[in-house]
Structure 1
Amino acid sequence: MRKRTKPAGTAGGSLARNREFRLLWLSFTMSVAGDQIFPVTVTIAALNAGGTASTIGAIFTCRWIALIVFALLGGLWADRLPRRTVMVASLAFQCCVAAAGLCGIASPWLLGLLVFLVGGAEAFHRPAYQACLSSVLTPAQRPAGAALTAVSWRLGAMIGPGLGAYVVTAWSARIGFLAVLAAYLLGLVLLLPLREPVVTPGRRASAVREIADGLSEVVRRRWVLGIIVAVALQQMLTIAPAQVLLPIVSRDTFGGDTVYGTALALLSVGGLAGGLVSMRWKPGRPGLAGVTGLALYGLVPLALAWPVSREFVYGCYVTVGLGLEIFAVQWVVNLQREIPPERLARVTSVDWLAASVMTPLGLTLTGPAVVAIGRPALLTIGVVAGFAVPLATLLLRGMTRFRSDVPTLGQDTTPKAPTPLN
C-alpha cells in the first residue's frame, strides 16, 4: 500500500494558499489552451494543402485511436510513477510534436500522425492530473479544485478555438504551431517546482495484474460501474448524434451556421456557470445531483428534433452545459474520495476508455442511422437514451450518494480479537 505525506500548503480550506494546487491548475490551464489551439491549426494546415472534409475527419479519428490504445496504459503508469513525472514527460513530448509542426508539414498522413501522438500523450497526462489533483488537495478543497478545473476547461473551449483560428488566419499555420508549443512549454515549466506528496509505492505486480486491479475497483462499486456504462451509452446514443446533426439542423431549419456556433458557445457558457456553482454548492445527495445533471443532456436531441425557435435551442444548450459540469464535479470529487489514491489514475483511465470507444462509434453510425430510420427517429432515440439511461442508474445501490461500503482491495477484513482487559 502506498503511503502519502501531506503536501505543503494544503492546511485549511483556501485554494489561494495552496501553492501546489496553483502550479498544477495553471499548468493544466496552459495544456488546455494548447489542446484547443492544436486541432484548429491542424485543420487549417490540412485545408491549405487541399484537404477535404473527409480528410479532416480521418485526421481527427487518429486522436480517438490514440486514446483507445493508450488510455489504460496511461492510467497504469500514472499510478506506478510520480504523477508530476508523468505529466512533465507528456507535456515535453507534446512540445516535441508541436515543434515538428513548425517544419511546415502539409501531408494529411503526417498531420494525422501528429494528432495521434498528441492524443497518446493526452492519455497519459489526464489520468495523472486527476490523481495528482486529489493528492495536493485536502478533502475540503476538492470540490472547489474540481470546479476550477471545469472552469479552465470551459474557458479553453470558449476562447481557444477562436484564438487559434485568428492566429492561423492572420499569420500562418506555423505561427499556430508556435502558439501550441508555447502553451505546452509554459505548462511544463509550471510543473517543475511542484512538490507532489511523497508516495512510497508498494510491491509491483505485472502490468496486466495492475490494470486488472484498476478494473476490479470499478466493478466492485456499482455506482462507479453504473456511471461509466451510462456515460458510454449516452456518448454513443445521444451526444455523438447531436454533434453530427446540430450543424445540419442549423442550416436546414435556421438557414445558416449561426445557430450551430452560438449553441456550442452557449454550451460552454452553461458549463462555466455550472463550474462556478459547484465551487459553492455541496449537495446532500451528490449522486442524485450529478445524475440529474447528466440526464439533462436529453434536452439537446429534444431541441434538435423540435427546433421551434432559436431561443428554445439556445436555452437547452445552456441548461445542458450547466448540468454537465455539476455532474462532472460531483463525479470527480466523489471518485477521489472513494477510490484508493494508488489506483485512482487507473480508474480514471477506465472511465475515459469507455467514452473514447463509444464516441467515435456513435459518430460513425449516425450517418447510416439517419439514412436507415430518418433524422426524427434517431433524435427521438437520443432523447429517450439521454434521459432514461442516466436516471436508470439511480436504482443502483449507493448511486444517490455516490458512495459504497466496500473494503479496499488488499485490506485485511478479518475481525480482530478484542483486546483483553487488564
Structure 2
Amino acid sequence: MQGSKRERVGMLSALAVGEFRAMWLAELLSSGGDQLARVALSVLVYQRTNSAALTGLTYALTFVPQLAGGILLSWPADRYPRREVMIAADIVRAALVAGMAVPGTPLWLLCVLVAVTTFTNAPFKAAQGALLPDVLRSERLFTAGMNLRSMCSQFVQLLAFSLGGFLVSAIDPNLALGLNAGTFVASAVILAVAVTRRPPPSAPGTRPASLGSTWQVARQTWRDPRQRALVGVMWLATFYVVPEALAAPYAASLGTGAVAVGLLMAADPIGSIIGSVTLRWLPPKTGVRLIGVFGIVAGLPLVLCVLHPGLVTSMILFGIGGVLATWYHVQGSAQFTLGLPEAQRGQGAGLLSTGLQTGQGLGALAAGLVADQIGAADTIALAGGLGVITAVPLAALWARARAGRAELPEKT
C-alpha cells in the first residue's frame, strides 16, 4: 500500500529534484520550438514551391536523418562530460536553425540545414538519456521522470497541432524558425547554470567510446534477449504513428474539414497524457511484466478502423491506442536505459531514441504510399494489424527474458 502511495506522487517527486527540473525545462523549450519549426517549415516550403511532395520531403527530413546520427554521433555521450555534450549540441542546433530563419535561404540549402540539424539531435538525446539516471537515482523516481517527460512531450505536441498553424500564420514562418533557434540557446543556458558538471563516464579495462564502440553496443544489445525485446517493443511506434500521419486524408474520407484533421491528430496525444496520468496507479512490477502485452493491445483499436467508423469513434480509438502505447513506452524505455552499463548508456539510449524517431518517419512515409492505393482507413487498420502481429513474438521474448533474469535492483 505504501508503494502505491509513493507511485501516486512520483511525477511531483521527480520535479522536486533541481537538476531534473532544469533538464525538463530545457527539453520543454526546445521540443516546443521543434514542433513550431516543423509547422513553419511545412508552410514555408509549400508557400515557395506549391509542391506537396517537397513539403512532405522537408517534413521527413526532420525525422529520418536521426538514424545516421544515432549510429555516428551517440558515442560522444559516453566519452565526454554529458552536460557539455548537451550544451554543445544545443549551440550547434541554434546556429543551424538560425541559418534556416534567414529570409530567402535557397531551398536546397534549407533542406541541407534541416537534415544536419536532425542529424545533430543524436548526441543531445544520447547524453540526455544517459545523464537522467544519474540525476534521478532510484528506479521508481527515474520511471516517474520518464513518465512526466512523456506527458509533457505529448502536451507540447497537442498545443503545436492546435495552435501551431495559427502562430506561424500570425508571426511569419521565418520568425517562427528564429524563435526555435532561441529555444536552443535558452536550453544551453539552463543546462550550463543548473546542471552539475560530471566527469566523463568510464569503465576499467575498456577503451574510450568511439564510432566503433557504438557498433559494439548495438551488437551487445541485440545479443541480450531482454534488451532486444525492449527495443522491438519501443519501435512498434513505426506502425502506431500512422493515424497521425494520415489524419488529413482520413478526415477527407469522413467528409469532414480542417477542424477534424486537428481533432484526429490531437486524439493520440490526449490519450498519451491520460496514459501518463493513469500509469502511476499501476503497480510497478505489474506494469513491467505487461510491457509486451501493452505493445500488442495498443494496435487493436487501430485495427477497428477497417469498419470505417465516424469522427468521434475514430478519436476514441486513437486515444485508447495512445493510452496503451504510453503504458509500454514509458516503462520499456526506463527498463532499457537502466539495463545498460553506465559507460555505454549514452550510446544505447541514443540508438533507441534515434531508431524510434526514424521508424516513425519511415512509417509515416510508407503509410502515405499505401493510403494512395487502399485508402486511409484501411491503411490505419493494416498498420494496427502489423503492429499486433509484430508485437506478439516480442511479448513472448520479453516474458522469457524476464523469467530467466532477475529484476533490476532498486537503486538508492
Q: TM-score range by the shorter chain?
A: 0.7 to 0.9
- Judging changes above 3 Å, is the alpha-carbon distance between structure 1 residues 163 and 392 closer, same or farther for their aligned structure 2 residues? same
Supply the AA of the counterpart residue of 1:341: E
Name the structure 2 match of 1:185: 185
**Is residue 38–residue 62 contact of structure 2 (8 Å, CA) maintained in 1?**
no
Report the Cα distance in structure 2 between the residues aligned to 1:269 and 1:403, rounded to whole angstroms: 37
Question: 1:229 and 2:238 equivalent?
Answer: no
Residue 55 (structure 1) shift? 1.3
Question: 1:338 and 2:339 equivalent?
Answer: yes
Residue 181 (structure 1) shift? 2.2
Question: 1:50 and 2:53 equivalent?
Answer: no
Name the structure 1 match of 2:40: 41
- Judging changes above 3 Å, is the alpha-carbon distance between structure 1 residues 405 and 220 closer, same or farther for their aligned structure 2 residues? farther
**Is residue 77–residue 127 contact of structure 2 (8 Å, CA) maintained in 1?**
yes
- Judging changes above 3 Å, is the alpha-carbon distance between structure 1 residues 64 and 403 closer, same or farther for their aligned structure 2 residues? farther
* Structure 2 counterpart SS, 1:285: helix
Report the Cα distance in structure 2 between the residues aligned to 1:325 and 1:56, rounded to whole angstroms: 29
Q: Give CA deviations for 1:79-136 in whole Å, capped at 9, x if unaligned.
A: 1111111110111111112222332135321221221122012122112111111111
Q: Give CA deviations for 1:316-345 in whole Å, capped at 9, x if unaligned.
A: 111111112221210122123211122122
Supply the AA of the counterpart residue of 2:291: G
Report the Cα distance in structure 1 between the residues aligned to 2:304 and 2:189, rounded to whole angstroms: 44
Report the Cα distance in structure 2 between the residues aligned to 1:401 and 1:121, rounded to whole angstroms: 35
* Structure 1 counterpart SS, 2:120: helix
Name the structure 1 match of 2:82: 83
Supply the AA of the counterpart residue of 2:189: V
- Judging changes above 3 Å, is the alpha-carbon distance between structure 1 residues 216 and 19 closer, same or farther for their aligned structure 2 residues? same
Report the Cα distance in structure 2 between the residues aligned to 1:184 and 1:340, rounded to whole angstroms: 29
Residue 228 (structure 1) shift? 2.2
Name the structure 1 match of 2:3: none
Name the structure 1 match of 2:97: 98
Question: 1:31 and 2:13 equivalent?
Answer: no
* Structure 2 counterpart SS, 1:339: coil
- Judging changes above 3 Å, is the alpha-carbon distance between structure 1 residues 278 and 230 closer, same or farther for their aligned structure 2 residues? closer
1:4-403 aligned within 5 A: 14-139=13-138, 140-193=140-193, 194-202=195-203, 203-205=206-208, 207-232=210-235, 234-236=236-238, 238-239=239-240, 241-279=242-280, 281-370=282-371, 378-396=379-397, 398=399, 401=402
Choose 46-55 or 369-378, whichever is displaced more.
369-378
* Structure 2 counterpart SS, 1:270: helix
Residue 28 (structure 1) shift? 1.1
Residue 152 (structure 1) shift? 1.9
**Is residue 21–residue 133 contact of structure 1 (8 Å, CA) maintained in 2?**
yes
Supply the AA of the counterpart residue of 2:271: G
- Judging changes above 3 Å, is the alpha-carbon distance between structure 1 residues 282 and 111 closer, same or farther for their aligned structure 2 residues? farther
Choose 300-309 or 258-267, whichever is displaced more.
300-309
* Structure 1 counterpart SS, 2:284: coil
Report the Cα distance in structure 1 between the residues aligned to 2:26 and 2:373, rounded to whole angstroms: 46
Q: Give CA deviations for 1:40-75 in whole Å, capped at 9, x if unaligned.
A: 121222223233211111222323442122112232
- Judging changes above 3 Å, is the alpha-carbon distance between structure 1 residues 63 and 84 closer, same or farther for their aligned structure 2 residues? same
Report the Cα distance in structure 1 between the residues aligned to 2:381 and 2:279, rounded to whole angstroms: 31
- Judging changes above 3 Å, is the alpha-carbon distance between structure 1 residues 367 and 83 closer, same or farther for their aligned structure 2 residues? same
* Structure 2 counterpart SS, 1:284: helix
**Is residue 262–residue 314 contact of structure 1 (8 Å, CA) maintained in 2?**
yes
Structure 1 stretches of 5 or more lacking a match?
Answer: 1-12, 408-422
Residue 286 (structure 1) shift? 3.0
Report the Cα distance in structure 2 between the residues aligned to 1:402 and 1:332, rounded to whole angstroms: 19
**Is residue 71–residue 123 contact of structure 1 (8 Å, CA) maintained in 2?**
yes
* Structure 2 counterpart SS, 1:14: helix
Supply the AA of the counterpart residue of 1:394: A
Report the Cα distance in structure 2 between the residues aligned to 1:380 and 1:165, rounded to whole angstroms: 28
- Judging changes above 3 Å, is the alpha-carbon distance between structure 1 residues 200 and 124 closer, same or farther for their aligned structure 2 residues? closer
Identity of aligned residues (%): 17
Residue 162 (structure 1) shift? 4.1
- Judging changes above 3 Å, is the alpha-carbon distance between structure 1 residues 134 and 105 closer, same or farther for their aligned structure 2 residues? farther
- Judging changes above 3 Å, is the alpha-carbon distance between structure 1 residues 366 and 48 closer, same or farther for their aligned structure 2 residues? closer
Choose 239-248 or 253-262, whichever is displaced more.
239-248
* RMSD of aligned Cα (Å): 2.9
**Is residue 221–residue 406 contact of structure 1 (8 Å, CA) maintained in 2?**
no
Q: Give CA deviations for 1:358-394 in whole Å, capped at 9, x if unaligned.
A: 4444444445545666767655532322223223322
Report the Cα distance in structure 1 between the residues aligned to 2:354 and 2:14, rounded to whole angstroms: 30
- Judging changes above 3 Å, is the alpha-carbon distance between structure 1 residues 303 and 254 closer, same or farther for their aligned structure 2 residues? farther
Report the Cα distance in structure 2 between the residues aligned to 1:149 and 1:167, rounded to whole angstroms: 24
Supply the AA of the counterpart residue of 1:216: R
Choose 250-259 or 186-195, whichever is displaced more.
250-259
**Is residue 87–residue 128 contact of structure 1 (8 Å, CA) maintained in 2?**
yes
Supply the AA of the counterpart residue of 1:85: E
- Judging changes above 3 Å, is the alpha-carbon distance between structure 1 residues 38 and 26 closer, same or farther for their aligned structure 2 residues? same
Choose 248-257 or 322-331, whichever is displaced more.
248-257
Residue 309 (structure 1) shift? 2.5
- Judging changes above 3 Å, is the alpha-carbon distance between structure 1 residues 52 and 200 closer, same or farther for their aligned structure 2 residues? closer
Q: Which has the higher helix share?
A: 2
**Is residue 269–residue 318 contact of structure 1 (8 Å, CA) maintained in 2?**
yes
Total equivalences in the alignment: 393
Structure 2 stretches of 5 or more lacking a match?
Answer: 1-11
* Structure 2 counterpart SS, 1:63: coil
Report the Cα distance in structure 2 between the residues aligned to 1:250 and 1:108, rounded to whole angstroms: 30
Report the Cα distance in structure 2 between the residues aligned to 1:219 and 1:146, rounded to whole angstroms: 23
**Is residue 304–residue 381 contact of structure 2 (8 Å, CA) maintained in 1?**
no
